[in-house]
Structure 1
């Protein structure tokens, strides 16, 4: 069967248009080409949900079931091959997956349960980091230009990750930069991965010897038989969640700025609803990594052979008329039946954390800055080409500081009438570049501001 390439300029510019063209021609399942590899692309809501839930045990993410891969027919230089070679719980099944996901569940609980002191401290730290990043934007004066993707949305969750992982400030900056190199791909990605793996392994050794109040220590406590290699590979999953969060922040900002009704609802405190609405209408994780049927299975208008790769389109499923047609777009609250956080045995365990970070980031931004205006029409914003993410490459805006808002750094040195500087919510253990706005990361961010 001849298949058409999925990742074209049309797809980068307007994936919804491509989805509908494929749906009209093939139905809820379409044969496509992903960078030279044939893949079944699932667009139907019911079909995507059925595969995610996997109640019959037909579907697996284990790449050993991928027939072309086992037969050596995937080119060694296929750009996405490293994604499927990570060998962590994202691609495991059965007992092995349940063991690792249990470690994640217990380790994330202190950060996601608002009754726990770690969750309360983390919430304060997110707000502090957001204020620090906004403070750098404000150093140029009460008005200015900014790329809110590079200068705010992307660094914020990575700073939070450094805190959760228990890195020192200096080491954390190195990890932040390498995570960006890995996520963005390019000639430095392979070397960045090696450094990140080494950093995570080193961290695993340290936390096994000297545990603390951090994610790797909690994972070790939950699953003491975790090997150093297992722990390092699991911790490498954090960049995916954080890149998702950064993209969600950007997408929410665009929705707020470009939709007057949404901006009005934000002013009355409905930020969590805005975040849910954006996750429904413009999910950052547009497509999911492959699943493989263990036996031949009928889906849509085709029979998918055992071992064929299947890519589930969350964005396509949300636009399926069978699902989207039943939505009440005038309702105060949008449905929670969307698939932005997945479903079934591989659903996202950190969705509460990602939602909390996004909510704080958006609230802080719109309380500190007013008259945020997109520098480009919404249909001209540049998107990162990706088979999985729907993420802005940049979010250029013109902004004005809120009346009466003074960046923390200026308050600290503003004389007798200035309010006393508040200690960093990140705590003494995290003191350093994150709170003082000095060091390599902050120099990099200031460099972006100066280039405007």
Structure 2
């Protein structure tokens, strides 16, 4: 059975933007763990059951492909050229590949990310210290307006911080990196500028790849080239587009963790180093930033839920809905100190996220520094009234308005007894990146400060 536009109900509605959990529950009652939906005019299968999502992700029988050329409607020219999500699927990097080519690129990524994800590696240590410094710089901009005030933590902290990490890892200048990440948001959000944003992103990454091939450095593009010397500039540019996406995930996770901590005094009280990691894991379970994954396509007829999926049909796996599946959620002890790691926020199977440690560490440091530097973080809106970005894939806050009060302790304070905050809060053993007051990024951030 294939969903037809006449019978498949639209997924991306105001109800979905406001409360996707309620939409998941209603769809589950009507259709079971798999539902036919309309995604901006294109019929897809929406998979909400935990077991069904995990089975497709693991793909042990080889029944599913991520290659866009396996999408029957696309191959037959039935997807409109101006469909807002089309640029996402045309990236054609390892996210959308299978088999040997996919495995080879993942091995290169594993090698390139290893220095950043190893606490004992000098690159990993430098990165952690740089994240601390960037976090303190952003909080410092808020502090310029006084010890108390109002802020949008999404725009003034959570989003710029991963941007700075992307600048460092990719080797972009701050202004160029800002353009890259903003264009990635435009592409992910599937707005009217998505196609033009993809073209600019591809050009920027191609230019960067050519520069690093000519003059390798101590950065991610150079590591990828070293791990796969035969990688073409086209392949390299498309692969590099994955890093800002990972860091956009981290920005959303930072916001979601801040909401959890600010809305729950018990969580705030327990923020030791270990508790931060546990809180990040709990939030990834409760409110995964990557709510829905890009399509998989059936290679043969596949029974899934109450339906038979035809060859070439697309399925969109909903991680958020899978976590709410009573068969999964009902088995979790929500009062346990340590929550399950069996959630799907980082994927599973051959396409699981290789940058999990990096994104988790950035998030943990960002949360630690924020609540160490601020003695008060109060949500300016009730948690259930916070505004969310409309997106078919991400569940990310459009803004996170807070009322804050800075702690009186100095910037480089010593950890409290028994506290292990993570990266050593010492000067970074590398040249400090110049951050002039006229920088577009810093001018933008200072422009966001609200008058006292």
TM-score (normalizing by structure 2) = 0.93
> Whole-Å Cα distance in 1 between the matches of residues 349 and 12 of structure 2?
27
Q: Does 1:431 align with 2:442?
A: no
> Whole-Å Cα distance in 2 between the matches of residues 398 and 172 of structure 1?
29
> Whole-Å Cα distance in 1 between the matches of residues 265 and 394 of structure 2?
26
How do 1:196-345 residues align onto structure 2 when only pairs under 5 Å count?
A: 196-267=201-272, 269-345=274-350
Deviations for 1:367-395, whole angstroms, at most 9, x for unmatched residues?
A: 00121110001111000111111100000
Deviations for 1:248-295, whole angstroms, at most 9, x for unmatched residues?
A: 000000000111222222157510000000000100000000001100
Is residue 169–residue 431 contact of structure 1 (8 Å, CA) maintained in 2?
no
> Whole-Å Cα distance in 2 between the matches of residues 306 and 183 of structure 1?
27
Structure-2 residue corresponding to 1:418? none
Structure-2 residue corresponding to 1:445? 445
> Whole-Å Cα distance in 1 between the matches of residues 449 and 141 of structure 2?
8
Deviations for 1:383-436, whole angstroms, at most 9, x for unmatched residues?
A: 01111111000000000001234599xxxxxxxxxxxxx9963831x5112xx5
User: Using a 3 Å threshold, how does the CA distance of structure 1 residues 304 and 186 change in structure 2: closer, same or farther?
Assistant: closer
> Whole-Å Cα distance in 1 between the matches of residues 93 and 274 of structure 2?
39
Structure-2 residue corresponding to 1:112? 117
> Structure 2 regions of 5+ residues with no counterpart?
414-424
User: Using a 3 Å threshold, how does the CA distance of structure 1 residues 202 and 140 change in structure 2: closer, same or farther?
Assistant: same
Q: Does 1:151 align with 2:156?
A: yes
> Whole-Å Cα distance in 2 between the matches of residues 291 and 185 of structure 1?
19
> How far does residue 167 in structure 1 lie from its aligned partner after superposition?
2.1
Which of 337, 352, 359 is residue 354 of structure 1 equivalent to?
A: 359
> Structure 1 regions of 5+ residues with no counterpart?
409-421
Structure-2 residue corresponding to 1:102? 107
What's the secondary structure of 1:252's corresponding residue? helix
What's the secondary structure of 1:266's corresponding residue? coil
> Whole-Å Cα distance in 1 between the matches of residues 56 and 27 of structure 2?
19
What's the secondary structure of 1:449's corresponding residue? coil
> Whole-Å Cα distance in 2 between the matches of residues 257 and 375 of structure 1?
10
> How far does residue 237 in structure 1 lie from its aligned partner after superposition?
1.2
Is residue 17–residue 388 contact of structure 2 (8 Å, CA) maintained in 1?
yes
Structure-2 residue corresponding to 1:23? 28
Deviations for 1:132-153, whole angstroms, at most 9, x for unmatched residues?
A: 0000011100100000001100
TM-score (normalizing by structure 1) = 0.93
Structure-2 residue corresponding to 1:44? 49
User: Using a 3 Å threshold, how does the CA distance of structure 1 residues 363 and 241 change in structure 2: closer, same or farther?
Assistant: same
What is the aligned-residue RMSD (CA, Å)?
1.9
User: Using a 3 Å threshold, how does the CA distance of structure 1 residues 17 and 229 change in structure 2: closer, same or farther?
Assistant: same
User: Using a 3 Å threshold, how does the CA distance of structure 1 residues 180 and 27 change in structure 2: closer, same or farther?
Assistant: closer
> How far does residue 173 in structure 1 lie from its aligned partner after superposition?
4.2
> Whole-Å Cα distance in 2 between the matches of residues 268 and 92 of structure 1?
38
> How far does residue 183 in structure 1 lie from its aligned partner after superposition?
4.3
What's the secondary structure of 1:340's corresponding residue? coil
Q: Does 1:130 align with 2:132?
A: no
User: Using a 3 Å threshold, how does the CA distance of structure 1 residues 68 and 88 change in structure 2: closer, same or farther?
Assistant: same
Deviations for 1:69-120, whole angstroms, at most 9, x for unmatched residues?
A: 1111111111111111111100011011011111111000010011110000
